[in-house]
Every structure is written in structure tokens, then in C-alpha cells.
Structure 1
């Protein structure tokens, strides 16, 4: 018959604990951040690194007419191209920030900016991005990129930015 002593049981428990500790140390931590290939595609598509991540909207804006929430054909093609490129390198989560110029009431502009962001999300979902992976923000006229005192400045401010988190 086999007899288990307290000493052999303690040795077995300690050995088992050490083996489990060694195995957990061998696990690979999940990768954080973007891969070099993903960054290359972001740059190729016109994204720029900002404090909030990689943003498309500074150098290549998706612009809207005054009081217009729907994308024109050219902007739709740009968003489709971007969505396909992002999905092609495994980027499947984005944030879409809608903006307006300062014309009109702020409450209305906030709603209009959200509708603009939704227009872009609709195009991204048509090319394969999941709706729940597209975060929307309607920022109204709170983040202008140009002066609202000129017609050209107001045109620049009627935009949507697509942002990819850097982490």
C-alpha cells in the first residue's frame, strides 16, 4: 500500500505550484498599440497622429454643405476607401467626430454634427465595419479648425474626422 506522508504531500504541492507559476510566466501578453503595417496604412490613407490617436480629418477633410448631413459622392468614396483599408489591416474600431460651423444655435449644431457622424458610420458599416465598433461624437461647433468669420473657414469647419486609437 502507498502511504502519503505530510512531507511528501508538501513537496508535491510546492512542485505543482512552481510548475503552474512557470507556465503562467510563459504566456504572451496581448499586443497593445498598432502594428507597423497598420501605421503604414493609416499614413497612406492620410491619417495624422494627434493627441487623441490617428485622425483623418486634418489634411483630408470630409466636408459638408451648410446645414447638410449627407455625404456627397466624392466624400462617400473617400470614406469607403478608408473603411476598406482599415479593415484590410485588422483595424475594426474607430471613432467618428462630427463638426459644424458656428452658424445657428449650438443645440441644433450638436444634433447636426451627430447626424453627420452617423452618415459616415453608415458608409463604414456598408463596407464591413460593425456598427457597435464605430463610436460617434457630435461636437457641434466646439472644435473649429478655421475661423467662422469667413465663408472658407465655415466650410472647413463643416467636417467629420475619423479617429483610430493609438493603443
Structure 2
């Protein structure tokens, strides 16, 4: 809030006493300076909720907001995130689509692809094992990507199914 706007809120007697060089004039200048940081945040508040514009710490909160807390959950607060901030931003940006397809093979495959940045996940349901899903992770997956994929599969699979995660062999 600008000093002049604050001054207009004062009673008439104070407004008359507010002249350059007075204590009240200086006090209103200080009040203006104290409001400036908060007003800057409020002027761009929509950026806090945009996954590609929000600060990294806010993206973690947004991931929890779109029900992806199992991806960012860690036993200790000082533990680094299991995936890079860019991947987490992608996951938040796809949050509505992932929620719509949750519990389906398409939804699980999409969540894995967005979180790891890899393509080629294969989900199979063996005919001889009902309520069992085999998830084939692309051979190019790193250890960290495999760990993220495991977290997502365990959280996103239907509760009534068992799951087996295997790394695909290198293509010939």
C-alpha cells in the first residue's frame, strides 16, 4: 500500500499533521516499505499454483495437493526428493489426467512415464495368475528411476492385485 493511500485512511486531524519531514510522514514511509514484499507476492500469487512457475518447495506441496504425496513422501524432511524438480513439475501438471485414469493400466503407464521420463513401460496380466500384474520397466532405467517406478506402482495399482516389477532386457 502506498504512503498516500495509507494517509487517506487516517482521521482528518492526522492527515493535516502529515507533512514532509514530520514523524508521521516518516512512519507512513516505513509502513509503505513494510507492505511492499507482501504486495509483490500477492501481485503474482497465481504463480504459486502453476507447476512450472512455482518455487521448488511449493511444487512439493502441489504434488501432495494432487494426490501424488506417495512420490514425494520421505521418512525424514532432509531427504532429497526421489525425482528431479522438473519431473515433479510434470507430474503435478498431469495431476488431473492422472486422477481421472487412476487404477487403470493407462493411468499407471502414464504416471510411470511422466515421473521417470522414460517411454516403453509394459503392463501384462498373465492368464495363469489372476489379479497379478507384471510391470516391465525399460532397460534404460537408472536405479533412481526404478525406485520411483516401484513407489508409483505400489501406490497406484489396484488394492486387490499383486505386482511384479521386472527390468526389460536390452533389445537385440
Greater RCO, 1 or 2 (C-alpha within 8 Å, sep 6+): 1
- Flag whether TM exceeds 0.5 (same fold): no
Structure of larger gyration radius: 2
Q: Which structure shows the higher strand fraction? A: 1
